[in-house]
Amino acid sequence: MSQLAQTRPRSVTEIIDASFRFYRARFGDLLVVSALLLVPPAIVAAIAPLWLQAVARFVSNFMYLFSQGAIAVIVAAALERNQALSAGEAFRELNGRWGKVLGASIMSGLMVFIGFVLLIIPGFIAAAWTAVAVPVAAIEGLASSKAIDRSRALAKGRLGHVLGTVILTWFLVWLVVFGVAVSLGIAVGMLGIPQRISGMLFELVMVPIFPLVAITVTLLYYDLRVRGEAADVSALIDALPATPAQPT
């Protein structure tokens, strides 16, 4: 029986707690995914000529999006099929959906940006509507606009739950990042490390931490499906043994 069949609606803190437990259980594979996508641009930005550094940082932003998509696939495999995907398997399973993940994320970012520019409240609404668009694109394979519509449908009537989960997750992540960055800054100052290298080290702080965000957003996606679509009941029914045909 899949883990999804045994899942119930969770509170904000329960989703985050489940994210930490998944993170600890699958830390190795998650770190590989994050490192393969996030480390190369950080290294290039540290050693490349000045004109190439901006390109590397621009590429790095896209790598975060792809990393979130790959991690969503890993979480989905664990919940729906009780399958532990390696980093390579996650990349292969996401094959053909990279563009959809990118498109959904870019559209989400534009909607949130425009919402905050116009008025603050529409920005928060847009953030809630598009919160799970990337997992939708990665797991369901929907194109960007359809992934946004699907995310909005799942979040309908649950904006507080969605925003609470996302905001608390990022708050906890940035607390950890801040603590590590302060310690790293002290060490860098004492050792006299060059600015380029220190900048790379600060960027690498996110490599082992970012998977927590991706896991939480994916678990939020499944929580919304359980709440709105009874995905747990559907998974339970799918797990039941087939009824043998009666002889005529």
**Six-digit token string for 60:** 């790095």
Query: pLDDT value at position 183?
Result: 80
Query: pLDDT value at position 58?
Result: 78
**For the chain, which residues make up each domain, given as ranges?**
4-95+158-234
The CA-based dihedral angle spanning residues 123, 128, 134, 139, taken in that order and rounded to the nearest 10 degrees: -160
Distance CA 73, CA 76 (A): 5
Query: pLDDT value at position 237?
Result: 61
> What percent of the chain is predicted at pLDDT more than 90?
52
Distance CA 220, CA 66 (A): 18
Query: Which residues of the chain fall below pLDDT 70?
Result: 1, 51, 188, 194-196, 232-248
Query: pLDDT value at position 103?
Result: 92
Query: pLDDT value at position 154?
Result: 95
Contacts of 3 (CB under 8 A, 6+ apart): 78, 79, 80, 82
Query: pLDDT value at position 216?
Result: 96
In sign, the C-alpha dihedral spanning 160, 163, 166, 168 is negative
pTM score, whole prediction: 0.88
Query: pLDDT value at position 16?
Result: 95
Query: pLDDT value at position 247?
Result: 56
Query: pLDDT value at position 221?
Result: 95
- Per residue in 124-181, pLDDT (tens digit) is 999 999 999 999 999 999 998 999 999 999 999 999 999 999 999 999 998 988 887 7
